[in-house]
């Protein structure tokens, strides 16, 4: 419905004018997807996911004049959501929430393994089990497409830590998913 009513250009211009109705149109258009992203970062904590979403959209509306219209609007919003999520989680110290246990080398790493047969919510449930630090690293790599170097800069950790945490997170998730499917 909203797509028929307004183009992205009109929505952006309306938000710049502080037109509340068009701000709502923008919010409704992207809130659901960004809520999913926030839940990916916040894990089991729904309240935190909602706080992330709220803070992120406030930043979007306050800074929409700075949106250069060079890339996609969704990408710009997504970046703000991710940064907001990281800022909120960083306060709880990423370093203290990394995976400490060693992952056995014997666990296979079948990249082409088919997971789509499993219930969709399982992957979210298992990611939520990851320690917060490892979850952020996994999300930044998987969702935002960051390199380990970028993740290291973003979280003020070493590139090695980012790589090892991602690898451990990936192995743990696969193991947990196998346990789920029996």
Partner 1 sequence: MKIEEWYKERIESNTEDPPEKVWEEVQNALDLDLVWNALSTELETPGKNRKPIYWAMAASVLLLIASLGMMLFFADVFRSSGTDSVASAHRPLMISRLPSITGIQTALPASPAYPHATIVRKKHAHPGYHDLIPVASPHFSMPAFIASASTASLPANTPAPGAFPVYGDDAEPSPVGARDGGLLLASEVETTPWPGWYVGLSVQYANTWMRNEKTIIGLQNTSLVDSRPSFGRSLGFVAGKQVAERFDVKIAFDIISEKRQSYNEYLHGKFVSTGLDMDYTKLSLMAGYRFLHNKRHMMVFGMYAGYLTNAEYTVDGNRENVLHDFQKTDYGLVSGYEYTHALNRNFLLATGVYAHYGLTNVFAGGEQFPAYLNRTNFLSFHFGVSLGYLMD
Q: Which residues bind partner 1 (CB under 8 A)?
A: 5, 10, 18-25, 27-28, 31-33, 35-37, 39-40, 49-50, 53-54, 57-58, 61-62, 111-116, 120, 123-124, 127, 138, 141-143, 170, 173-174, 177
CB of 124 to partner 1, least distance (A): 7
Closest to partner 1 by CB, 71 vs 93, is 71
Closest by CA position to 13, among listed 89, 65, 71, 54: 65
Closest to partner 1 by CB, 155 vs 166, is 166
Location of structure tokens 């370093």: 95
CB of 148 to partner 1, least distance (A): 13
Closest to partner 1 by CB, 66 vs 112, is 112
Closest to partner 1 by CB, 10 vs 153, is 10
d(CA 73, CA 31): 13
Contacts of 24 (CB under 8 A, 6+ apart): none
- Calculate ∠ Cα 142-113-44, nearest 5°: 45
């Amino acid at each position: 419905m909203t797509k028929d009513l307004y183009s992205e250009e009109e929505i952006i211009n309306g938000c710049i004018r502080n037109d509340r109705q068009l701000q709502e149109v923008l919010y409704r258009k992207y809130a659901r997807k960004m809520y999913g992203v926030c839940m990916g970062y916040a894990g089991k904590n729904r309240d935190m996911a909602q706080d992330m979403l709220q803070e992120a959209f406030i930043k979007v509306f306050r800074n929409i004049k700075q949106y250069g219209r060079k890339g996609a609007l969704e990408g710009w919003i997504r970046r703000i959501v991710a940064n907001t999520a990281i800022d909120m989680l960083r306060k709880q110290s990423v370093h203290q929430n990394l995976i400490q246990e060693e992952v056995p080398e014997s666990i296979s790493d079948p990249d082409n393994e088919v997971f789509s047969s499993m219930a969709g919510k399982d992957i979210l449930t298992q990611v939520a089990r990851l320690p917060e630090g490892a979850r952020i690293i996994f999300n930044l790599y998987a969702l935002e497409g960051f390199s380990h170097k970028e993740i290291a800069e973003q979280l003020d950790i070493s590139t090695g830590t980012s790589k090892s945490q991602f690898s451990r997170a990936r192995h743990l998730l696969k193991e947990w998913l196998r346990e789920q499917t029996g």
